Structure 1
Amino acid sequence: MSWLEPVNAYCERTGPDYWSEPINAVTNLAFLIGAAVIAPRLRGPGMGTGRLLAAILFVIGIGSWLFHTHANRLTGLMDVLPILAFILVYIFAASRDFLGMRPWLAGVATLAFLPYAAVTVPVFALIPGIGSSAGYAPVPALILAYAAILWRRDPDTARGLAIGAAILVASLTFRSLDIPLCDVTPFGTHFMWHILNAVMLTWMIEVWRRHASRRRR
């Protein structure tokens, strides 16, 4: 197996050329725009975690751009790893700041995501048509679990998390439909995963920011 072996995983790609996925590539600008929009809202004390999440959001856009232009196994890792980093940092922040866990316990909750995903991904994979999106399906379920825990003690944050989960479900739907609808839409639907995912991740940072601002006041 070569790390530079070409990968053809999406409807829009027709060959190994750099611009074989122009829509999938260009829509990664949505992540960079999201990072640019949220970053100025994270100034001031106590916003370090938010700034870290915004920086990861920017890197997600770069990694995904590389994957949808230089489509190979190596750039595939560059696409996936920043997303995993965002998930883990957000779980830590949500456990510590939303649920009030001590940092060491929030770290345990963060690490618990890995066995949680290992157990639940095969279950989600049983859903007809979900395909490779099963790898992301445990995330909205986990977000909704945090929302449920917070519903009474912090309804504003819980509502924000539920909205984020709903956007992510819509985003995953478009991701799953990319190949099945390829005959209908030759450029696919994966680009909507980029746009909605950028909106969702930016919104999740904003949910954290609002919570942190309320606590500071």
Structure 2
Amino acid sequence: MAFDWWDPVRDYCERAGPELWAEPLNAASNAAFGVAAFLLLRRGRAPDPAADAFAWLVGVIGLGSALFHTLAVAWSALADVIPIALFIHAYFFLALRRFLGLSALAALAGTLAFAAGAAFFEPVLSDLAGQPLGPLSNGSVAYAPAALALFGVGLASLRFGKRDGAALIGIGGLFLLSLAARTADAALCPVVPSGTHWIWHLLNAAVLFGLVRAARRAGPAA
């Protein structure tokens, strides 16, 4: 059967039909990303083009997710996941530069290694999660490399005497909480018809806000 960009996608508990507003909480909660982007772009601070670019990307993530949770078709799923993947890998590069002080070349090599490792281990982790947990994992294992990266870079920065990276550890904890909300969406669906995916949006907006703020405070790499 030929792939259709307009094939319906119903991945989340709240959606019970094809209507545009069939996921009201999942759709409306994306406004949190817009609020985060607005707060990050407020004037009255030192110029930081890289941090500003990430702030705009936070807004794009909210827009892509809103498209997916309203249209719920195949192409809008890409609008949801591509900006997130771009943020994860670009921020990893930025974190290596600002929190660990790596050169641009070393940070690029590290980012490519991270991307390759994530691509290799994601299906492995998905298979492992699929054995005991089945659908309860709800696809959240795809974000495991990002969570590990937060804790890894944060701990490494402390090891090298750079306290700015300590913020990444705290944000990593919040990210785990947001992942728990995303994972619980399918499991709690029988008793919570609205699901919990919207909580993932709210918490993840806070995670992205914190990451951009932390990078701005760390300052541009020398």
Give your verdict on TM over 0.5: yes
Rounded to whole Å, the distance in 2 between the matches of 1:153 and 1:98 is 9
Alignment partner, residue 188 of structure 1: 195
Moved more, 176-185 or 155-164: 155-164
Rounded to whole Å, the distance in 2 between the matches of 1:124 and 1:131 is 12
- CA deviation string 1:136-177 (max 9, x = no partner): 111111111111111133453232000111111001111011
CA deviation after TM superposition for structure 1 residue 41, in Å: 6.2
Rounded to whole Å, the distance in 2 between the matches of 1:42 and 1:159 is 25
Alignment partner, residue 16 of structure 1: 18
CA deviation after TM superposition for structure 1 residue 14, in Å: 0.6
- Report 1:1-217 matches (<5 A): 1-40=3-42, 43-45=45-47, 47-125=48-126, 126-127=128-129, 128=133, 129-154=136-161, 156-212=163-219
Gaps of 5+ in 1: none
User: Cα distance 1:41–1:163, how it changes in 2: closer, same or farther (>3 A)?
Assistant: farther
The two structures have a TM-score, normalised by structure 1, of 0.93
Rounded to whole Å, the distance in 2 between the matches of 1:155 and 1:177 is 35
SS in 1 for 2:111: helix
CA contact (8 A) 2:168 2:211 kept: yes
The two structures have a TM-score, normalised by structure 2, of 0.91
Rounded to whole Å, the distance in 1 between the matches of 2:211 and 2:219 is 12
Q: Which amino acid aligns with 1:88?
A: H
Rounded to whole Å, the distance in 1 between the matches of 2:194 and 2:150 is 31
User: Cα distance 1:167–1:41, how it changes in 2: closer, same or farther (>3 A)?
Assistant: farther
CA contact (8 A) 1:121 1:135 kept: yes
- CA deviation string 1:91-119 (max 9, x = no partner): 11111122111112211212222211123
Moved more, 29-38 or 131-140: 131-140
Aligned length: 214
CA deviation after TM superposition for structure 1 residue 43, in Å: 4.0
CA contact (8 A) 2:13 2:185 kept: yes
CA contact (8 A) 2:155 2:166 kept: no
- CA deviation string 1:49-106 (max 9, x = no partner): 1001101000000000000000011000000000011111111111112211111221
Moved more, 92-101 or 148-157: 148-157
Rounded to whole Å, the distance in 1 between the matches of 2:53 and 2:74 is 26
CA contact (8 A) 2:92 2:149 kept: no
SS in 1 for 2:187: coil
Q: Which amino acid aligns with 1:5?
A: D
Give identity over the alignment, percent: 38
Rounded to whole Å, the distance in 2 between the matches of 1:151 and 1:130 is 32
Rounded to whole Å, the distance in 1 between the matches of 2:4 and 2:31 is 29
